[in-house]
Amino acid sequence: MDIFEAIKNRRSIRHYKPDPVDDKTVEKVLEAAHWAPSWGNQQCWRFVVVRDPRTRSAVADTLAKVSVDSEWVENAAALSIRHAPVLIVVCAEKSGAGRSGDGALLNEKGEYWYMFDIALAMQNLTLAAHALGLGTVIVGGFDVARVEKIIGVTGDCTAVTMTPLGVPAGKGQVSPRKKLSEVIFMEKF
């Protein structure tokens, strides 16, 4: 698929068919993520591929509720995680990005550069999935401590984000974008 077509037609998918996704396809998607650049080539990303329906359901239970018409309802992405055959949880090793060779933090963003590097990989992942006919939706609003317990995150790593991966049931909606003139400035902010 042409890259610009992939960038413009990728949508966040919240409804999935139960159709299986094979290991080879999952590997292609993760390989694309892994080709992202990273701070000092630290490659702080770690991917956990979850197929077990009980684990997926336990993770789905940790998603933050959202407020719709002043009622608190389950995030639509929780259902996606239960329905799609694969869930990819992306963790970060916290001690890499944002530091100089001697381990000192280099600017006022501190160690939060791991959020940046994880997202570079995540965007490759969502584009690659789309080009292979699969849907994703990036989820950040979940109970990190519970998820880390469920999937057994150890050491210096933290769970950052996750996405279901599966065949879309229906097209995603286009979220309206701000005009280019609202987000672009010439020479000065």
Q: Which of residues 105-134 bind another protein (CB under 8 A)?
A: 106-109, 112-113, 115-120, 122-124, 126-128, 131
**Which residues from 76-95 bind another protein, rule CB under 8 A?**
91
Find out whether 32 and 26 touch, Cβ atoms under 8 Å.
no
Under the criterion CB under 8 A, does residue 67 sit at the interface with another protein? yes
What are the b/e assignments for 117-143, b being 16+ CB within 10 Å? bbbbbbbbbbbbbbbeebbbbebeebe
Q: Is 55 in the site for another protein (CB under 8 A)?
A: yes
> Two tokens at 6?
């992939």
Nearest to 44 by CA among 160, 145, 163: 160
In angstroms, give the least distance from the CB of 141 to another protein: 4
Select the span of 14-22, 76-84, 97-105 touching another protein (CB under 8 A): 97-105
Residue of 24, 35, 79, 156 interacting with another protein (CB under 8 A)? 35
Which secondary-structure segment (H or E) carries 157? Answer: strand 157-165
Closer Cβ to another protein, 98 or 164, answer by number: 98
- Which phi and psi angles does 36 have, rounded to 5°? -65, 150
Site membership for another protein, residue 181 (CB under 8 A): no
Q: Is 30 one of the binding residues for another protein (CB under 8 A)?
A: yes
Sign of CA dihedral 41, 114, 48, 74: negative
The rounded radius of gyration (Å) of the Cα atoms in the chain is: 17
Query: Least distance in Å: CB of 72 to another protein?
Result: 8
Residues 137-176, mask of contacts with another protein (x by CB under 8 A) = -x-xxx-xx-----xxxx--xx-xx-------------xx
Q: Is 188 in the site for another protein (CB under 8 A)?
A: yes
